[in-house]
Chain A
Amino acid sequence: MNSYQKALRINKRKVLLTQIILFVLFVLLWELLSQIGLINDFLFSSPSKIIKLLISYFKSNEIYKHIMISLFETIIGLIIGTVFGILFGIVFWWNKFLSKVFDPFLVVLNALPKTALAPILIIWAGTGVFGIIVVSVSISLILTIISSYNYFKNIDEEKILMLKSFGANRLQILFKLVIPYNIPNLINLIKINIGMTWVGVIVGEFLVSRMGIGYLIMYGSQVFKMDLVMMGVIILAVIAFIMYEIVNIIEKKIRKNRGI
């Protein structure tokens, strides 16, 4: 390892260490302030109370069903939103006429606050798991279509010409240039969609469910148990972080395979 690499590594560790210190300080301060009564732990809860509650939820095995159902809804919503979004992106790339026709509709749908439509969607799609998935897809789908279409159409014209000079047809241009070229962009899209799908799932669970992390948070706020609300938020943060990291690992593998 040369001195530059060493410096890089030390710098990376410094960042991580500072992050950990900041986090620990924040938790300690929160705990301390609630212990001495400077903040009201009935309103703001406290780390120790949250951990106690978390342990009891894990002991009674009750937490698992909440995590599982939310996770299930999110993963299905993420897959549907991303896959169909990209498929529509491909269709619009393939057919200029369709992309022109649908452009204003997509712009309006994108500008609309989708969470405002959630109550209607739930009524249409049913109040079960399916309805919640529909809400989560509605949030990620439109932006995925617009973004992926923009990625696809912004490919260098001369690169396409290069393929055509070898006699490539449109299908070859799609699969040998447009999609592989945009793999890093599509992975980024998945990362963005993880967050958006979670928003959809939580909103959906706020509205109708009797289970899930969104339900826990909603229930906690209704009975004024802030420990429960905070616990829900923390579980949510941890799971979202893990999902994000999984995509990161996949991305690194792909990058390595492509020598980038």
Chain B
Amino acid sequence: MEEVFNIENVKKTFYDKNSSLMVLDNLSLKGYKKEIIGIIGPSGSGKSTILNILSNLLKIDEGTVKVNGKVGYMFQRDHLLEWRNIYDNILFGLEIEKNLTTSNKSNAVSLLEKYGLKDFIHAYPKQLSGGMRQRISLIRTLSIKPDLLLLDEPFSALDYQTRINICDDVYKMIKDQNICSVLVTHDIGEAISMCDKVVILSNRPAKIKKIYDFTETFDDVKTPFERRTHPLFNRFFNEIWQELSDQK
């Protein structure tokens, strides 16, 4: 398997005017192509910090970070630009990269088409529902053809039903691409249903407490929704719940 990112013995401390806060302590993690890695942990444990380090928005104090290829980042809120229509929104990443070639543009439009959003190409963000907006936001990120996709609680601003549905859509969208994804979440069900591996973080400073590998368990299950009805789903849910409760 092809390695997409590798972080080794990373340390990160945040400094304030009169205090310092160690967030990551000797954290190591690897990701491979076609893999969806879930990161789950108590609030403030540094989940988002890991994403910010992978995307090079944050510098580390110690250790090494290697990313092979391009990084795409999807945030909790969609951050669509209200004054641009959907077409101009999905091209926004390419525009910033000054990479608006004809083939890149048609690739972005084909993503819209593939995921049933073509009819909204001339619409404006405020005319769309929350779930649609989040999918547009994902297309904007996928348009730049990332090798590593970072998702920071991308569904937490949505209502429950939309969330369950969009999990299936986004899962399909990610699996269609030949990429590695890192999903930060605090929703245990979401992590189990979407991810190949789930990393449990400890309290701050974050260390890896345990890694669950679901690749074989859910080998024959196709969608996140089906996983939720799998007999083993509840067992994992309770285990991880216990794991997270223990540290409080």
Interface residues of A (CB under 8 A from B): 156, 158-159, 161-168, 172, 176-177, 180-181, 183, 258-260
A165 touches B55 (CB 8 A): yes
Q: Known: A162-B75, A162-B79, A260-B124. Contact between A167 and B96, CB under 8 A? A: yes
With A176-B92, A259-B83 given, name 19 new contacts (CB 8 A): A158-B77, A159-B79, A161-B73, A162-B75, A163-B96, A165-B55, A165-B71, A166-B93, A168-B96, A172-B96, A177-B81, A180-B81, A180-B83, A181-B81, A181-B83, A258-B82, A258-B84, A259-B123, A260-B124
Known contacts A172-B96, A180-B83, A260-B83: does B126 contact A161 (CB below 8 Å)? no
- Is A165 a contact of B81 with CB atoms below 8 Å? no
- Name the prevailing secondary structure of the A interface residues: helix
How far is A168 from B81 in the complex, measured between Cα atoms in Å? 15
Contact A161 B57 (CB under 8 A): yes
Q: How far is the CA of A168 from the CA of B84 in the complex (A)?
A: 18
Within the complex, the shortest CB–CB distance from A251 to chain B, in Å, comes to 13
23 contacts between A and B (CB under 8 A): A156-B79, A158-B76, A158-B77, A161-B73, A162-B75, A165-B55, A165-B71, A165-B72, A165-B73, A166-B93, A166-B96, A166-B97, A167-B97, A168-B96, A172-B96, A176-B96, A180-B81, A183-B83, A258-B83, A258-B84, A258-B124, A259-B85, A259-B127
B57's partner among A156, A165, A183 (CB-CB below 8 A) is: A165
B194 at the interface (CB under 8 A from A): no
In the assembled complex, the Cα of A172 lies from the Cα of B93 at a distance in Å of 11
Q: Write out the residue numbers on chain B whose beta carbons fall within 8 Å of the beta carbon of A166.
A: 92-93, 96-97, 144
B95 in the interface (beta carbon within 8 A): yes
Which residue on chain A has the smallest CB distance to residue B85? A259
**Which of B79, B92, B127 is packed against the most chain A CB atoms within 10 Å?**
B79
Give Cα A156–Cα B95 distance, bound, in whole angstroms. Answer: 21
> Which residues of chain A are near B82, meaning CB under 8 Å?
258, 260
State the total of A-B contacts with C-beta under 8 angstroms: 51
Question: A residues within 8 A CB of B97?
Answer: 166-167
The CA of A86 and the CA of B92, in the complex, are separated in Å by: 25
Chain A's nearest CB lies how many Å from the CB of B70? 9
**Chain B residues closer than 8 Å to A180, beta-carbon distance:** 81, 83
- Residues on B with beta carbons closer than 8 Å to the beta carbon of A159: 79
Q: How far is the CB of B6 from chain A (nearest CB, A)?
A: 20
B79 cross-chain contacts in A, Cβ below 8 A: 156, 158-159, 162
C-alpha spacing A131/B75, complex, angstroms: 53
User: Which residues of the partner chain B approach A163 to less than 8 Å between Cβ atoms?
Assistant: 96
Question: A259 — which chain B residues lie within 8 A by C-beta?
Answer: 83, 85, 123-124, 126-127
Once bound together, how far apart are the Cα atoms of A59 and B17, in whole Å?
Answer: 72
CA gap between A131 and B123 in the complex, in Å: 50
Complex Cα–Cα for A159 and B92 (A): 13
Complex-state Cα separation, A126 to B21, whole angstroms: 60
Contacts of B71 in A (CB 8 A): 165
Provide the bound-state CA to CA distance between A177 and B83, in Å.
10
Nearest first, the 3 A-B pairs at minimum CB distance are A259-B124, A165-B73, A258-B83
- Give per-residue flags for B61-76: 1 if the beta carbon is below 8 A from chain A beta carbons, else 0: 0000000000111011
Q: Are B57 and A176 in contact (CB under 8 A)?
A: no
Are B83 and A176 in contact, with the CB atoms below 8 A?
A: no
From B73, B84, B123, contact of A162 by CB (8 A) = B73
Which residues of B are found within 8 Å of A156, using beta-carbon distances? Answer: 79
Q: How far is the CB of B109 from chain A (nearest CB, A)?
A: 18
CA distance A194 to B22 in the complex (A): 53
Residue numbers in A under 8 Å from B73 (CB-CB): 161-162, 165
For the complex, what is the distance from the CA of A44 to the CA of B92, rounded to whole Å? 61
What A residues does B127 contact at CB under 8 A?
259
Given contacts A162-B73, A165-B71, contact A176 B85 (CB under 8 A): no
Q: Hey, which chain B residues are within 8 Å of A177, CB to CB?
A: 81
What's the nearest-Cβ distance from chain B to residue A158, in Å?
A: 6
Partner of B95, one of A165, A176, A260: A176
Interchain CA distance A180-B95 in the complex, whole Å? 15
Cα distance, A19 to B96, chains bound together (Å): 50
A-side contacts of B57, CB under 8 Å? 161, 164-165
Q: Give the residues in chain A near B76, CB-CB below 8 Å.
A: 158
Chain A residue at smallest Cβ distance from B73: A165
Contact partners of A167 in chain B: CB under 8 A: 96-97
Contact check, A161 vs B75: say whether CB atoms are below 8 A apart: yes
Whole-angstrom distance from the CB of A252 to the nearest CB of chain B? 15
In the complex, which residues of chain A have a beta carbon less than 8 angstroms from the beta carbon of B77? 158
